[in-house]
Structure formats: structure tokens, C-alpha cells
Amino acid sequence: MKRALKVAVAAAALGMSGLAAQAEGLKVGFMATLSGPPAALGEHMRDGFLLGVKEAGGKLGGLDTEVLIVDDELKPDAALTKVQGLLERDKVDIMAGVVFSNVMMSVYKPIIQSETIMVSANAGPSPIAGKACSPYFFSTSWQNDQNHEVMGKYAQDQGYKRVVVMAPNYQAGKDSISGFKRYYGGEVVDEIYTKLGQLDFSAEIARIADAKPDAIFTFMPGGMGVNLVKQFSQAGLSDKVPFLSAFTVDETTLPATQDTAVGLKSGSQWSSTLDNPANKAFVAAFEKEYGYAPSLYASQGYDAARLIDGALKKAGGKDDKQALIAALREAPFESVRGDFKFNTNHFPVQDFYVVEGAKRDDGKYIVKVVEKVFDDQGDAYAAECTLK
């Protein structure tokens, strides 16, 4: 009996402190993939976001901020359960994060149905950019097709006549190829689809060498990309066949691929070499705080925190949700990627670049800008979105 009473008191105390926090502070639910092979992506994004919160003195928009970090395990069902916990039990004010599109698609409905603001720091599946868009959803990354389109446009501009494309055999892999083809008009001599999670690409590399293309385009995130880049270079192809990619050469894979990825191209909206004051401050602060070079995922996480901070300040707090949404739409912050404004579907209108792997003077590997491909580019689905 006595114990039951104690528990009740403790619960009441907890409940009260919860209430108190709700009245004064800001609760942000941050979901990222933090286990399994792609965990590095989630860690970069999380570290970027937390740096943004820290630089705001732990107070986004002047409100004491509590960030509840949850691991989605790259399992849509587990993610759904955890998001429901965040929404109903923890009563978070804002949701942010999410690396993978399949996870996003599973948590999107409950979040927007509860009229909670969601700031995606990575995943940008086409339905959310198009028909299923929502006033509560904002993205500080891109629509999924865009980084692939960058490479398609680049291949076209470079005058590559024959290209081999290769991607894992799943939805995002096929979307990647169709994104590439949207801007590439030359001949695709071979389309290779590999098993998701494949380790050895020697068979595919032999095929590529045999086809003698002007360039290859590939989408191999995480460890697959590391394996492909190393093996591509060991087969002596990196000097002969231009390597165009998306989400394959970045600061999450460069520590492993090192010199073998130097000069390999990728499409991106950000690089640590972009010359603007916000970016310089971000890169310096990030490396000081965490000791490793930030990737585009880190920059998107950081921008998400800064967007929330700026919008809360502009709206004068979190209580008037419509005012907050209106403030978010104006993107009241300096993005580390330079130009940034929201399209009608709440995805960014931004510049895209071709970047390539490079070794910095201090020995760290980063991607540096080669050239700008798109200026103030929106995505292909915004017209389908009914938001105005």
C-alpha cells in the first residue's frame, strides 16, 4: 500500500514537471536511424541538429528546449510506435529528423493528423512533395529525386553520350535512375540493379568495364558505396570512367574510402567549401564540437534547428500554430547552403552543385564544389501540391 502511494506521488510529481515543461519550454521529438549499418547518416544529422540547439543556448526561439532523440531502427513499424509515443505520451511540440523515406512515409500521417509541425532534415519522398503535401510539413533537405537530377543534368552538359547506370534493386534505387534520366538525354547503355546491401561489386564492375561507357551514374548509400568506390578504384576504372553519384561520396563514407574517392563526383545542395559566413561558422563549430568533418546530413540537421529557432522568434512563441507555420514559410534563418526559400509545397527552392571527393590540407576528407548545376531549383512535384 505504502509502495503504491509512493509510486502515485512520484507519478504525480513527474506529471506536474511534465506540465510545467509544457507551459514554459519546447519539446522537440527528433527521429533518426541510429542503429544498423546506416547509423552514420543519422548520427551526422543528429549532431548537426544538437549543435544548432546548443548555439541557441539550449533555447530554440528563447524557449527552454528539450530534444527527445529516438532511433527508428530503419523499421517503419517500430518508428510508427515510437512516434505515437512522442506525440501522445510526451506531447512534443515539433517533430524533426528522419533519414529514410520509408520511415517518413510510415510516420507522416500520424504526425500531420495530430497537427504537429514536422521538419524533415533528410527524407523527401515524392508523395509528400506532391499530392499528399501538408501545411504542417517542412523540409530542410530536398525532394528525393533532385540530387539525382543534378547528375543527369551534369552528364548531359558534359556531353557524355553513353552512360551505365547502377542502383540497388528497391524503390529509392529505381527513383534515383528515373531522376537521373529526367535530365539526361543520351544513351543509357546498361541499367544494372544490384541486391540491396550487396558487398562485392566485382561482377558489376567487370560489366561496366566491358561496356566502355563515357561515364557511370550510381546511387549506393552507406557501406555499399564504400565497397563500390574502393573496388571501382582498385579495378583501375576511376581514372578512365567518370564516376557520377548521389549519396555515395560524402563525409559519412569518405573516412573509409579516403584517397580512392578523391575526384569522384556527387550531386549535392551543400558542401563545407560553400563560401558564406553561416557555413564557415557552422563547419568550424561542428568540427570543434565533434572532431569530424560534417556531411550534408549534418548541415540539414543544423538548418532544421536554425529554421525552428528563427520561426519561433518571428512568431513570438509556439502557442499560435498558424502564426508559427506562417513564420516557418518565410524561412527566417541564414541557411548554411546559401540561398534558401520555401516552395509552395514547403520544400526548399535552392541551388544544386556537383561536388567531388577531396583531401583537405589538414588530412580530413571532404567534398568540394566543382560547379553549380541548378540555380534556385524547385522540385518536379510542387505543381501537384494543393498548398498555395
Partner 1 sequence: MSATLLAVQTLNGLQLGILLFLIAAGLTLVFGVMDFINLAHGVQYMLGAYLAVAAYGVTGSFWTAMLLALAGSLVVGLALELVVFRHLYDRDHLDQVLATFGVILFLGEAVKVIWGSSPLSLPVPDLLSGSIPISDGLLYPVYRIALIVAGLLIAALLYVLVTHTRVGMLVRAGATNAPMVSALGVNIRRLFMVVFGFGAMLAGFAGIMAAPILAVEPGMGDNLLILAFVVIVIGGIGSIRGAFLAALIIGLVDTIGRSAATDIARLVLPPAAANDVGPAIASMLIYILMAAVLFFRPSGLFPARAG
Closer residue to partner 1 (CB): 224 or 373: 224
Q: Indicate whether 171 belongs to the interface with partner 1 (CB under 8 A).
A: no
Q: Indicate whether 218 belongs to the interface with partner 1 (CB under 8 A).
A: no
Binding mask 101-130 for partner 1 (x = CB under 8 A): ------------------------------
Task: Return d(Cα 283, Cα 299) in angstroms, integer.
Answer: 9
- Taking CB under 8 A as the criterion, the residue among 43, 175, 303, 309 binding partner 1 is 43
**Cβ contacts of 285 within 8 Å, gap of 6 or more:** 51, 55
Q: Indicate whether 169 belongs to the interface with partner 1 (CB under 8 A).
A: yes
How many binding residues for partner 1 (CB under 8 A)? 41
Closer residue to partner 1 (CB): 253 or 350: 253
Cα angle vertex 259, ends 256, 262, to 5°?
110
Q: Indicate whether 304 belongs to the interface with partner 1 (CB under 8 A).
A: no
Show contacts of 239-242: CB within 8 Å, 24+ apart. Answer: 241/208, 241/209, 241/213, 241/214, 241/215, 241/216, 242/158, 242/160, 242/214, 242/215, 242/216
- Taking CB under 8 A as the criterion, the residue among 234, 316, 339, 386 binding partner 1 is 234
Cα 60 from chain centroid?
A: 21
**Cβ contacts of 238 within 8 Å, gap of 6 or more:** 232, 260, 263, 264
Closer residue to partner 1 (CB): 44 or 318: 44
Q: Indicate whether 210 belongs to the interface with partner 1 (CB under 8 A).
A: yes
- Taking CB under 8 A as the criterion, the residue among 58, 102, 193, 359 binding partner 1 is 193
Closer residue to partner 1 (CB): 292 or 334: 292
Helices 296-315 & 277-290 angle (0-180, nearest 10): 110
What the block records as the C-alpha cell of 293 is 568533418
Closer residue to partner 1 (CB): 252 or 350: 252
| Terminal CA-CA length for the chain | 59
H helix intervals, the chain = 2-24, 39-55, 76-84, 101-113, 126-129, 146-157, 171-183, 202-211, 223-234, 254-257, 277-290, 296-315, 321-329
> Which listed range, 67-75, 95-103, 137-145, 249-257, lies at the site for partner 1 (CB under 8 A)?
249-257
Q: Indicate whether 191 belongs to the interface with partner 1 (CB under 8 A).
A: yes
Q: Indicate whether 209 belongs to the interface with partner 1 (CB under 8 A).
A: yes
- Taking CB under 8 A as the criterion, the residue among 2, 3, 240, 388 binding partner 1 is 240
User: Which residues of the shown chain bind partner 1 in the complex (CB under 8 A)?
Assistant: 35-37, 39-40, 43, 169, 191-195, 197, 199-200, 202-204, 206-207, 209-210, 212, 222-224, 226-227, 230-231, 234-237, 240, 252-253, 255-258
